[in-house]
Amino acid sequence: MQALLRTDAIRVESYVGPSGERSLADDVLDGLTRPFKELPPKHFYDATGADLFDRICELPEYYPTRAERAILEQRSAEIVAATGAAELVELGSGTAAKTRLLLRAMADAGTLRRYVPVDVTEAMVLTCADELVDEFPGLRVHGIVGDFERHLSHVPRPDDGPRIVAFIGGTIGNFPPGSRRRFLRAIAKLLRPGVDHLLLGTDLVKDPAVLEAAYDDSAGITAAFNRNVLHVVNRELDADFDVDAFEHVAFFDREREWIEMRLRAQRRMDVNVRALGLKIAFAPREELRTEISAKFTVERLGADLAAAGLELRDVLTDPDELFALSLSARPGG
Ligand code: AVJ
């Protein structure tokens, strides 16, 4: 651990080292040597990718961000009243844009004590800590720079009052079913039975045409976002992907109830990943899976939470029932 900053109000610790790079190397080595090629979606988000994602959130076809914001705008006070939350732990906090609505509601209720952002991007955690202690007098921020899949154990023990652990934005959808439940179980360990709550954002199952448009927009921003992961591999691992020779593919798998994004090679290709001494062959039209984004029914959400030892307490949706924020807790206490 590296202490990055310590004042009366702010404490930021980093757990990311040079191993961040190794995880891309490992994922390329594992994922691109399989019979069905695959790369995990976390590598989308370099500076360009983060920028493209921000643009996706503004697209007319991409409803999740707007729908979730609408729920938070309308129901934050209710969430705070139902949980009595004094502390907000946020996994993948980013700029904390939507979180501010919750922090504001906690401040208005007079319960706000501490915010614990967890994010891999050091600058995000430092900047938002600074901004938030200015915006919310008396707030303490304990930031964790780390990967929420690897560094959850460094989230501090709950302190004063009840805590909400928030995992919003729908990122839980990136986990395939087995690891999704394992990850929810790890989150549950951060909660005291009968005291704390998980606030989880999940996109909902709906008309496949609406879902597919959200992941294949007419302006081509999602296509650029998808291809960008190849630029990341080229830069970080000295590879020579011909990025423009890959076609963006997005479809809703009705059986598994998830959106799948792929990159399809438009011709035969041999790619050299020089940093790994690895050569990868693509057959014409061969596809590389880059993301799954699971869509939920309330039934399946309840079942996934139950499998992680959590009880679904409340499901809040937007007026069009596009997206859900759910509150769950460990029974007992
Ligand atoms: C950030 C994982 C919630 O799955 O909708 C947006 C990422 N991918 N468009 C999602 C994404 C393509 C997004 N999450």
The pLDDT tens digits of the residues spanning 263-295 come to 999 999 999 999 999 999 999 999 999 999 999
Q: What distance in Å separates the CA atoms of residue 143 and residue 163, rounded to the nearest whole number? A: 15
Tell me whether strands 2-6 and 10-14 are parallel, antiparallel or unpaired. Answer: antiparallel
Over 80: is that where the pLDDT of 254 sits? yes
Query: How far lies 194's CA from each of 30, 34, 113, in Å?
Result: 41, 44, 20
Q: What is the DSSP letter of 202?
A: E
Contacts of 252 (CB under 8 A, 6+ apart): 208, 211, 212, 258, 259, 260, 295
Q: Which residues line ligand 1 (CB under 6 A)?
A: 56, 64, 169-171, 173-174, 215, 222, 291, 293
Q: How would you label 26-43 residue by residue, b for 16+ Cβ within 10 Å and e otherwise?
A: ebbeebbeeeebbbbbbb
Over 70: is that where the pLDDT of 21 sits? no
Nearest CA to ligand 1 atom 13: 171
What is the structure's pLDDT at 8? 86
Reported as a pLDDT band with limits 50, 70 and 90, residue 17 is confident
Instruction: Over range 129-141, report the average pLDDT.
Output: 95
- % residues pLDDT > 90 (the chain): 89
Query: How far lies 4's CA from each of 122, 142, 333, in Å?
Result: 9, 11, 36
What is the structure's pLDDT at 19? 59
Q: What distance in Å separates the CA atoms of residue 229 and residue 243, rounded to the nearest whole number? A: 9
Reported as a pLDDT band with limits 50, 70 and 90, residue 315 is very high
Instruction: Over range 83-99, report the average pLDDT.
Output: 90
Token pair of 67, please? 């729908």
CA of 210 to the centre of ligand 1 (A): 14
Q: Are 164 and 293 in contact (CB under 8 A)?
A: no
Over 70: is that where the pLDDT of 194 sits? yes
What is the structure's pLDDT at 20? 57
Nearest CA to ligand 1 atom 1: 171
Q: What distance in Å separates the CA atoms of residue 187 and residue 306, rounded to the nearest whole number? A: 13
137 or 1, greater pLDDT: 137
91 or 19, greater pLDDT: 91
Over 90: is that where the pLDDT of 233 sits? yes
Reported as a pLDDT band with limits 50, 70 and 90, residue 1 is confident
Give the helix ranges, DSSP H, for the chain.
19-31, 47-58, 64-83, 99-109, 122-135, 177-188, 208-214, 221-237, 298-307
Helices 64-83, 99-109: inter-axial angle, 10-degree rounding: 20
Q: How would you label 195-233 residue by residue, b for 16+ Cβ within 10 Å and e otherwise?
A: bbbbbbbbbbbbeeeebebbbbbeeebbbbbbbbbbbbb
Provide the β-strand partners of residue 296: 204
Supply the mean pLDDT for the chain: 95
Pocket test for ligand 1, best of 291, 296, 323 (most atoms within 8 A of CB): 291
Which ligand 1 atom lies nearest to the CA of residue 64? 5
Pocket test for ligand 1, best of 55, 66, 258, 293 (most atoms within 8 A of CB): 293
For 264, list phi and psi in degrees, rounded to 5.
-105, 125
Q: Identify the H or E element spanning 289.
A: strand 287-294
Strands across the sheet containing 287-294: 246-253, 258-265, 287-294
Q: Identify the H or E element spanning 164.
A: strand 163-167
Instruction: Over range 135-163, report the average pLDDT.
Output: 93
What is the structure's pLDDT at 274? 98
What is the structure's pLDDT at 6? 74
Nearest CA to ligand 1 atom 12: 215
Token pair of 263, please? 């990159």
What is the structure's pLDDT at 50? 93
Q: Are 6 and 255 in contact (CB under 8 A)?
A: no
Over 60: is that where the pLDDT of 229 sits? yes
